[in-house]
Structure 1
Amino acid sequence: MEQLLNDFSFGLFFWQSLLFILLLILLGKFAWKPILKAVDDREQGIKDALAEAENARKEMQNLTADNERILKEARAERDILLKEAKVMKENIISDAKEQAKEQANKVIEQAKATIESEKQAAITELKNQVAELSVGIAEKVVRAELSDKDKQLKLVEDMLKEVTIS
């Protein structure tokens, strides 16, 4: 250390100090400012990226909430549509049953009317056949009865008695 003090020169110290100060000025002007600016820019970029990430997160939360709300609305709408469809189905089924009952009643009434008319036609036909058979039998009986003159007179007398009696 003594040797350093012995070899110390003020001229060399001055020039070294001057060069050091000049180096500091040059570094401050050309190196530190761009380095500090780059560091500040980098820091600002990171802050901006964090802010954008936070905004994106908030927007994602909003979108998620909107999606959930839309899903709830869609489910509610689907439930309403299903209920309406059930009611419509039940109405259609009840209407179809009612129409089927009405149609069946009409068919039954038509069948009853047809049966009644056919029954009346059969009764009329039966009466006509009975009348024809009765007339035929009566004709044969009267011929047999009237073939003899005494029987004819007796028949006329009996008829006259019945007419006068009643």
Structure 2
Amino acid sequence: MDLITPGLGLVFWTVITFLFLLIILKKFAWKPILGAVSDREEGIKKALASAENARKEMENLHADNERILKEARAEREALLKEARDIKIKMIDDAKGEAQAQADKIIEQAQAAIESEKKAAMAELKKHVADLSIDIAEKVVRAELSNKDKQLELVESMLGEAKLN
């Protein structure tokens, strides 16, 4: 029975040992343990706040990325439209320039044709005049080879000159 019921001395020394252990723990271990727990709690709170801030920043970055992407798409569309407009303008300008050059070439060709035509007409007139002079010379020689015909021609010309 002595083993089951503790004696007063055992209780006393157990309480004193317990109190001594509590004082030693409070003085040397309790504060560092509570400080470590407090530091750990503070670290967890900071980590949670940092994670929340990171989440918000990621949301903001995502929204910014979406906005930038929309702006880039709009700018791409504007550039493509501008490129199409420039292409159409260049084609129209090239067509206009080609038409102007074609008109100029046709005009030059018509002027060359007109010049060649005038030159050919002048050459033809000169040739006709030369032929006429040759024919007239041959006729006059034939007429003037005979003395009687010469006198008759001179008299008829004098008669015509008086009448005029």
Q: TM-score range by the shorter chain?
A: 0.7 to 0.9
Q: Distance in 1 between matches of 2:74 and 2:53?
A: 31
Partner of 1:82: 80
CA RMSD of aligned residues (A): 2.8
Matched, 1:127 2:129: no
Aligned match of 2:66: 68
| SS state at 1:3 partner | coil
Matched with 1:115 is 113
Alignment partner, residue 138 of structure 1: 136
Runs of 4+ more than 3 Å apart:
149-163
The answer on 1:4 being equivalent to 2:3 is yes
- Gaps (5+ residues) in structure 2? none
Q: Equivalent residue for 2:91?
A: 93
Aligned residue type for 1:66 = D
Alpha-carbon distance between aligned partners in 2 of 1:105 and 1:160, rounded to the nearest angstrom: 61
- Report how far residue 120 of structure 1 moved: 0.9
Q: Distance in 2 between matches of 1:62 and 1:28?
A: 48
Q: CA deviation at 1:133?
A: 0.5
After TM superposition, the structure 1 stretch with the greater mean CA deviation from structure 2, 49-58 or 10-19, is: 10-19
The TM-score, its normalising length taken from structure 2, stands at: 0.81
Q: Counterpart of 1:4 in 2: which secondary structure?
A: coil
Q: CA deviation at 1:39?
A: 2.0
**Counterpart-to-counterpart distance in 2, 1:42 and 1:95:** 76
Q: Does 1:52 align with 2:50?
A: yes
